[in-house]
Amino acid sequence: MVHDPTFCGDGEELLPPGHRIGGWTVTGRIGEGGWATVYAARRAEGAAASDGSDSADGMDDTVALKVLPTAGLAPRQARQVAEAARREAELARTTPHPRLVRLIDTLVLAAPDHPALDGAIVLVMERARCTLRDLLASGVDEARAGRIVAGICEGLAHLHRSGWVHTDLKPENVLIGRDGEVRLSDFGLAIELTGTHGHCAPMGTPDYLPPERWKEPLGENGVKIRTTADIWALGIVIHEVFAAGFPPFPGATSTARSAAAQQYAEGRAALRLAPAVPPFWRALAADCLAPTHAARAPHTAESLLARIDAHQTGHRPRRPRPRAVLLAIATCATAAVAATATAFWPHPGPPAHSARIKVFNAERGCQGRTDRDPQCSLGLAVDPQRPYTAENVIPTRVWNDDTLDADCQLPTGLPIIDEEDHSSTLWYRIHLPGPATGWLPAVRTKDHPSLVHCP
């Protein structure tokens, strides 16, 4: 029997409709899984929006509350729950994106009169219309299925660029937002990469684990994990999307299907995809399901998305610049790097002392928007010669089409690659209200004035 922490001993649900948590009133239960239970909630009467807005569009007036109780757990289990919640919050804070579910707030409940609820961690997230699993039950046509897979690729490409591996991609963790667009969710098992790989506990959903995970040695930090684990899971999901939810590997149980996948990876069985999967998507799924990490490595989320875009628009995919070349640029001598930057962004004339430049966000879903959604915000760097990470970003955020004041340029900063694989070492120093300054990489604007070099 599985213990459900959302029910008390007498069968009464722990968070019944009408229960208030922070500024939210529970309206019902959506579902549960692992250590968490998800509730639907609406903004409580008189409660202000967490971001200070008036929520005129109503998008934040109904949310999902992911509740992770810690009461009654062994200390080690409680630490695991707290770590999973911390990972979700950290990923949402540092890598927002239109294809990732938005985290609105986090709460830790103090309820001494309700021991089962005391100390529970609550993640307040945007409310979705349904999961991809729900959608597969009713069926989707090829055009919509293609848009869904493209959205998943967009989300994975952003995660991987940001140095994260989802590790638990499956239809239950792909949400369909109220706008009909894809949102990847449930990052409790997500792992941040250190170089080419990270380490994680030997956990996950067996049907979506790559074959090498079953033989990966378990070290003191866990098993090795790489972005190709997500690509394998993507291949399973693609097959399910176009085959009405049926997995690509046969078997009546998860254990049997995992064994079939391992037989295929060892060359003892062929990959047999359902006839219902159209040819283009069959080839894409087969590449994702290449039997080894090395064979899957060329099929990055970005390259798969380029193939999908080409298929849907009828254009040949643009060939991305090899990462090895970009790394070589980063290690060239200063003079050579400066020459590269000058060649990429040609100077139109004599250098000026200041210029107004407009911000450009290459994320298609963030262009043409005026709502200043935090997921579409961009950061200005503190130091253009340090890695462009969350720790090197000033608090002030900017959005697509914002106009900024630049007073000088640095041609020899750290190379930056945008979502369309454009690269540059050129940075502009931006003056903000007051004494604050920040640095904008040239790939984040289409305006490239020739300014004096920064001292």
CA gap 436, 400 in Å, rounded: 20
CB 209 within 8 A of CB 258: yes
Question: pLDDT of the chain along its 455 residues, tens only?
Answer: 233 444 444 445 678 899 999 899 999 999 887 678 999 999 988 766 654 444 444 456 899 999 998 887 888 888 888 888 888 898 988 889 999 999 999 999 888 888 888 889 999 999 999 999 999 987 889 999 999 999 999 999 999 999 999 999 999 999 999 889 999 999 988 988 886 777 776 677 999 999 988 777 666 667 788 999 999 999 999 999 999 999 999 999 999 999 999 999 999 999 999 999 999 999 999 999 999 999 999 999 999 999 999 998 876 555 444 433 333 333 333 333 333 333 333 444 456 678 999 999 887 778 888 888 776 788 898 998 887 666 678 888 899 999 999 999 998 888 776 655 566 889 999 988 777 889 999 989 999 888 999 98
Pick the closest to residue 161 from 443, 446, 448 (CA basis): 443
Question: Given this model, what pLDDT does residue 362 score?
Answer: 80
Pick the closest to residue 439 from 402, 376, 377, 396 (CA basis): 396
Question: Given this model, what pLDDT does residue 341 score?
Answer: 35
Question: Given this model, what pLDDT does residue 316 score?
Answer: 55
Question: Given this model, what pLDDT does residue 185 score?
Answer: 95
**At a CB cut-off of 8 Å and minimum separation 6, what does 84 contact?**
35, 68, 188, 189
CB 146 within 8 A of CB 284: no
Percent composition of the chain: helix, strand, coil (DSSP 3-state, to 5): 30, 25, 45
Between 279-288 and 301-313, two packed helices, what is the crossing angle to 10 degrees? 170
Question: Given this model, what pLDDT does residue 390 score?
Answer: 63
Question: Given this model, what pLDDT does residue 221 score?
Answer: 66
Tell me, what DSSP letter sits at residue 149?
H
Please count the CA atoms within 13 angstroms of the CA of 395 that sit on its side-chain side: 2
Buried b (16+ CB within 10 A) or exposed e, 90-107: bbbebbbbbbbbbbbbbb
Please count the CA atoms within 13 angstroms of the CA of 186 that sit on its side-chain side: 20
Question: Given this model, what pLDDT does residue 14 score?
Answer: 75
Domains of the chain with bracketed CATH? 20-126 (3.30.200.20), 130-313 (1.10.510.10), 325-444 (no CATH)
Question: Given this model, what pLDDT does residue 315 score?
Answer: 60
Q: Give the position of tokens 């400066």.
A: 338
Residue 27 identity (one-letter amino acid): T
CA gap 110, 115 in Å, rounded: 9
Pick the closest to residue 19 from 117, 126, 119 (CA basis): 117
Instruction: Encode pLDDT of 113-137 as tens digits.
Output: 888 888 899 999 999 999 999 999 8
CB 190 within 8 A of CB 199: no
